[in-house]
């Protein structure tokens, strides 16, 4: 079975804290996950045919089936693998909930990205 790959930006303190929390939950699970920090390895964004700045702004996950998920869908993929969070994955997949989450996440990610840029984190 192929491993799941998580592309994240450690230069963003909010993102780094979120990934640390999620990673702590998943490291204890029998799932094969590779955590790829695009801040430490800028070229990694090319692996998923995405612009570095877009990967800096939004979480990307390539699931075990090779599908690239971005933003809320990336979180859903991680939640589906995490004991205690699988219910979140199911609920977030409901059409109305997904629409609201996607809108909220994309808006928050854009603001957070600009805040990090203004603070010279990359």
Q: Per-residue pLDDT averaged across 34-42, rounded? A: 97
101-122 pLDDT, tens per residue? 999 999 999 999 999 999 999 8
DSSP structure class, residue 10: T
Residue 93 host element (H or E):
none
Dihedral angle, C-alpha 35, 8, 76, 49, nearest 10 °:
-100
Q: Per-residue pLDDT averaged across 8-18, rounded? A: 97
- pTM reported for the whole predicted model: 0.94
Confidence of residue 2 (pLDDT cuts 50, 70, 90): confident
Q: Which residues contact 53 (CB under 8 A, 6 or more apart)?
A: 113
Rounded Cα gap, residues 28 and 83, in angstroms? 10
Q: 11 and 56 in contact (C-beta within 8 Å)? A: yes
Which residue is it, tokens 């877009």? Answer: 54
Q: What is the pLDDT of residue 1?
A: 58
Rounded Cα gap, residues 17 and 87, in angstroms? 22
Q: How many CA atoms lie within 13 A of 107 on its CB side?
A: 6
Q: Per-residue pLDDT averaged across 4-28, rounded? A: 95
Please report, for the chain, the start and end positions of each structural domain, with discontinuous segments joined by +: 4-118
39-78 pLDDT, tens per residue? 999 999 999 999 999 999 999 999 999 999 999 999 999 9
Which residue is it, tokens 């450690």? Answer: 10
């Amino acid at each position: 079975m192929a491993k799941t790959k998580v592309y994240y930006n450690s230069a963003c303190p909010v993102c780094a804290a979120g990934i640390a929390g999620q990673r702590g939950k998943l490291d204890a699970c029998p799932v094969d996950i590779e955590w790829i920090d695009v801040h430490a390895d800028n070229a990694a964004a090319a692996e998923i045919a995405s612009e570095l700045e877009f990967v800096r702004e939004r979480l990307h996950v390539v699931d075990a089936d090779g599908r690239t998920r971005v933003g809320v869908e990336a979180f859903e993929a991680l939640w589906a693998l995490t004991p205690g969070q699988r219910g979140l994955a199911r609920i977030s997949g409901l059409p109305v909930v997904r629409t609201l989450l996607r809108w909220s996440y994309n808006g928050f990610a854009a603001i957070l990205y600009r805040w990090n840029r203004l603070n010279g984190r990359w």
